[in-house]
Chain A
Amino acid sequence: MPAPQRKLHLTNSKGRNATIVFGSVKPPSPPKLGVPGSEVRFLRFFAATPTTLHEALQTQLGEDYAQALIDGDPEVDFERVGREIGETSKVFLSADGKVLHAAPREVELILDPDGNEKERRDWEDKQANVNDELPVRWTGRKMPKKEAVRKFVFSRTIELAHVDGLTYDYLYAMAQELAEEDALMLMGGGPKGRDALVFQTNGTPYRAFLEGRVDGPRYKLLLHLSNMELKRPSAASGGASGGKGASKEDGGES
């Protein structure tokens, strides 16, 4: 499905600015799961109700209620369990479990690599800065591609595209310049071009490196985004995690 166009305001090596459009670069989707010859749907459904959650059963039946589960089915609400959960809205519950009818106050916790709280402050929204009055700046700081891939983990890439003949010329020239140098250009936000780029309100701040490729009159202008250096954590912070994590290897969708 095509995505709505999003705009990015940037400068080139001469400091000239333009507003162009961008989208995410995505690899082909993995195959879908199903049953041959049969339509299947992926659904969210009720597996329990408040009266059948562990805490409620414990209150009702005592600390050790294993025998009660064998003797009956107190953990199953036959009226509700298995029903599809349709569209929902997010709500917040107080510590007492009551629905809040006004937006809660939010705080920001800063945790160190060991998970200890370093700082606590009121939450402030971080605004996107890629389509500001101030353009994303071509900083002039180049890095050979071979060096960049050994320094940073690029977890996301966006592609830039023109909206008319003038912006085609503008972007093609940028791509050509970078392709000839086989280098990535650090791009930055803010008045001095030193800020990380934020693509949506409260989005992840990324360092951004622009790459250009050309083939005859065609071009690719790719902004590679990184929020992680390619290095090991210090031994004191616990290091790497033995292969488990929130991705394919521990049960993620394939």
Chain B
Amino acid sequence: MARTLVVSLGGAQSTFDLAKLDRSKLYGQRKRVPLDPEGRPCTRAALTDDGSFLVQSGMSSQGYFDAAGTWIPSKELVALDADGNPLPQIPSTLGVEQPLKGPVAPDRLLDLRVQSVYALDPLAVDDALKRSLLAGDVYEVTFNYRADYHAQSAFLLANEAGELFAMVGDVADPAWRDPEERIPTFEADDEEEHGDLDFEMF
């Protein structure tokens, strides 16, 4: 059965089908392809630092191990807080009514580190919510695609063409910069860079 996003505002329920948006379907893709001396595509592999072994696709796996080197099955792993105590599992929010918060200020959405964007197809939408979204309001709701230990935030909004979307991710809290601060510090950057095409938006 298709999984739906179910939200409520002022006691009125609305239900949407979700479809994940793929950037390459909007703009295409740019790929960097290495070629061998005969002009055929190369494959990537990893050479162990002692030079003794070549790790090719399909030859490696990964997992959690205890101090004695014994593999720990995934089902035995739980999320732990900073003190090492287990955290409760958070059920999936899909198909389960979630109360909307908002309208929220655009700043709140600007603080979202977007992980996924979904196009929303309304199955049953409350008129008041629809009007509000089409007028440019933004709503926030708790979102968890599958049961795990970390719920995210989804922001519901409409673009100017009236298409509905949910942007999903984690909300950050950027630091205030103070006049006394002389050596600013930042969190380590683990950005992955992709060779995507630019887009023409203006």
Report A's interface with B, CB cutoff 8 A. 1-3, 5, 21-28, 30-50, 53-54, 80, 85-97, 99-100, 104-113, 115, 118, 123, 145-157, 159, 161-165, 168, 171-172, 196, 200, 202-205, 207, 211, 213, 215, 217-222, 224, 227-233, 237-245, 247-249, 254
Contact = CB atoms under 8 A, between A and B. Distances in A.
A240 B19 contact: yes
A249 B172 contact: no
A25 B188 CA distance: 10
Contact of A31 (B31, B80, B115, B189): B80
Given A113-B28, A240-B118, 16 more contacts: A25-B174, A27-B170, A27-B172, A30-B149, A30-B150, A35-B72, A50-B59, A95-B43, A109-B33, A149-B110, A161-B181, A205-B198, A211-B110, A230-B159, A241-B19, A243-B19
Contacts of B163: 231-232
A218 B181 CA distance: 10
Contacts of A109: 30-31, 33
Contacts of B167: 153
B57 to A, nearest CB: 9
B198 to A, nearest CB: 5
A233 B42 contact: no
Contacts of B186: 2-3, 5, 21-24, 159, 161
A74 B104 CA distance: 60
Contacts of B127: none
A180 B72 CA distance: 54
A31 B150 contact: yes
Contact of A227 (B67, B76, B173, B198): B198
24 contacts: A3-B187, A3-B189, A5-B184, A23-B186, A30-B170, A34-B77, A35-B76, A41-B64, A45-B60, A90-B46, A91-B44, A96-B36, A99-B47, A100-B37, A104-B35, A108-B32, A162-B184, A227-B198, A230-B165, A239-B25, A243-B18, A243-B20, A249-B145, A254-B79
A180 to B, nearest CB: 14
A42 B64 contact: yes
Contacts of A220: 174-177
Contacts of A54: 58
B115 A233 contact: no
